[in-house]
Structure 1
Amino acid sequence: MDLIAQEPEHYLQADDVIEATHPAVLALAAELRAAHPAETDYARAAFEWVRDKVAHSFDAQDSRVTVTASEVLREGVGLCYAKAHLLTALLRAEGIPAGLCYQRLADPATGGHALHGLVALHLDGAWYRQDPRGNKPGVDAQFSLEQERLAWPVSSAAGEVDYPTVHVTPDATVVEALSSTDDVLDLYRRGLPSALPGSAA
């Protein structure tokens, strides 16, 4: 799909959630870069580290709440949004423009829909979406600069939506939902945010 993004330089800044200048984030970024000096190799290594080393909260049945990049790194767990925050921070820490993307997917936990968080990164003059949520039976997300290999295909018949915008900062409703609970599994059961504000879905 065609992504809608600002100029790449807008996607390099740090903020209170995408903590690209946090010492722990910088330390991991430097470690990964030392082993993978080429841009694409580093991006792949950062993606695989977050996908494989940080557990998805629901898969692990871990109730801890993580929002910021440093929290995700410290606790080693997070929902898709939180994992996307860490990957975005790791990419920005090494000068690779990266932002947040979202999908609206059917949510079997509630019977409705839920936002799913992704990362888009800018390499070789183009934007590429990646899904670091973590693999499991039936989910095989891979780093790719060719055909997208995300966790789930989107079905418009099921009311699912691919939102094309690459966000510089995390969606405020996502951050608010994560910040307003002390049990992320309870939030998951009650229902994650179901659509981006102002969208038709």
Structure 2
Amino acid sequence: MDPSVSPYGPLRADRPDLDAYLAADEVVDHRHPAVMERAAALRRADPVATAEAVFDFVRDRIDHSADVGRWSAAYRASDVLAAGDAICHGKAHLLAALLRANGIPAGLCYQRLEVLHGLNGVLLPGSSWWVRLDGRGNRNGADGRFATTPAAEQPAWTGEPTLDRRHCATVYAATPPVLLDGLRRARPGVTGFDYLPLELPGEA
């Protein structure tokens, strides 16, 4: 088996400069003191172990809103950390922030389900391959696992990709504007995903 070949298709960066995948912005705000503190607490002796500790923390310690019936509407990484729950996009933003704070390039990628599902593309140290990591949380049938190669990827929702359940190919350095507009419309305590787009421009 070729370790560089993902069962969910290849990933490509939308930015040529890796610095874009280490940068802080309004959403992936890893220079926030609380995010920096948590990132330091999750740091391990080697970067791959650090990435796995970060992944496990976001998957297992930050609740998915739909699993617990607590809808914070948080999407900014620092707000997700403070709230302790978010939908998949907020969790992906926090995962990216904690990885970037530890010097590990991380971006955002997506899967088309009934709504647009958010996960991460990560470039582990010493690797030339982006790997999908899905920290959605393993309840209600989800089963995301840590992977170090594309061939070993296990997102939360597996199965044969189809037109309506396919993975997008792009690793975004920042949240796409159409998605960010939707996330800004979410309101605390309001259930559902009506504010999310079904797909992204150029990924149809």
**Greater alpha carbon shift after TM alignment, 56-65 vs 148-157:** 148-157
Deviation for aligned residue 1:184:
6.1
Whichever residue aligns with residue 119 of structure 2, its letter is L
Identical columns (%): 41
Whichever residue aligns with residue 102 of structure 1, its letter is Y
The counterpart of 1:31, out of the listed 35, 41, 64, is 41
Whichever residue aligns with residue 59 of structure 1, its letter is D
1:12 aligned to 2:42? no
Is the contact made by 1:178 and 1:184 (CA closer than 8 Å) also made in structure 2? no
Report the number of matched residues.
190
Alpha-carbon spacing, 1:80–1:2, altered in 2? closer, same or farther (3 Å): same
Q: Which runs of 5+ in 1 are unaligned?
A: 108-113
1:47 aligned to 2:48? no
Q: Which runs of 5+ in 2 are unaligned?
A: 1-8
Deviation for aligned residue 1:163:
0.7
The counterpart of 1:175, out of the listed 167, 176, 180, is 180
How big is each residue's C-alpha offset from its partner over 1:41-69, in whole Å with a ceiling of 9 and x where there is no partner? 00000000000110001111112210100
Whichever residue aligns with residue 122 of structure 1, its letter is L
Deviation for aligned residue 1:173:
2.0
| Distance across 1 between alignment mates of 2:110 and 2:65 | 18
3-state DSSP of counterpart to 1:186? coil
1:199 aligned to 2:203? yes
Structure ranking higher in helix proportion = 1
Alpha-carbon spacing, 1:50–1:166, altered in 2? closer, same or farther (3 Å): same
1:82 aligned to 2:90? yes
Matches within 5 A, 1:122-137: 122-123=123-124, 124-125=126-127, 126-137=129-140
Alpha-carbon spacing, 1:154–1:4, altered in 2? closer, same or farther (3 Å): farther
Q: Normalising by the residue count of structure 2, what TM-score does the alignment of the two structures yield?
A: 0.87
Is the contact made by 1:51 and 1:135 (CA closer than 8 Å) also made in structure 2? yes
Whichever residue aligns with residue 122 of structure 2, its letter is L
1:139 aligned to 2:150? no
Whichever residue aligns with residue 55 of structure 1, its letter is D
Whichever residue aligns with residue 178 of structure 2, its letter is T
Q: Normalising by the residue count of structure 1, what TM-score does the alignment of the two structures yield?
A: 0.88
